Amino acid sequence: MPLTSVLLLSMALFCIGVFGVLSRRNAIGILLGVELMANAVNINLVAFSRFQGGVVGQVFAVFAIALTVAEVVVGLALVILLYRSRKDVRVDEANALSG
C-alpha cells in the first residue's frame, strides 16, 4: 500500500473528526470528534515511521495514545460534573456564562 493512500485515509479521518467537533452539540459527540482526530494523527505517525524507517514515529504514536487517554479521562470527568449539576450535556444549552 503506498504512503499516499494511507495519508488520504488519515486525512479523511481527521476531517471527519474536525466536522464532528464543529457540528456536534453534545459534549460526548465533540469528544468523539477529538478522538477521531487523534487517531488520524496516530495513523499518520505509524505510516511515516514505516515508510521512512526508524521507530521514532511509533514511539510518538504510543505516547500520543497515552496522552489522549489521559485527556479523555479528565474530559469525561468534566462531562459527568456538568451532568450532575445540569442533567444535560449539550454544550449549546450550557450558557450560564456569556457576554
Calpha distance 50→28 (Å, rounded):
33
* Single-letter residue type at 34: V
Binding string to other proteins for residues 3 to 32, with x set by CB under 8 A, is what?
A: ----x------x--x---x-----x--xx-
Q: Who's near 63: CB < 8 A, 6+ residues apart?
A: none
Instruction: Answer yes or no whether residue 78 interacts with other proteins by CB under 8 A.
Output: yes
Cell numbers for 19, please give them: 466536522
- How many CB atoms are closer than 10 A to CB 25? 11
Binding site for other proteins (CB under 8 A): 7, 14, 17, 21, 27, 30-31, 33-34, 37-38, 40-41, 44-45, 47-48, 52, 54, 56-57, 59-60, 63-64, 67, 70-71, 74-75, 77-79, 81-82, 84-86, 91, 94, 96-99
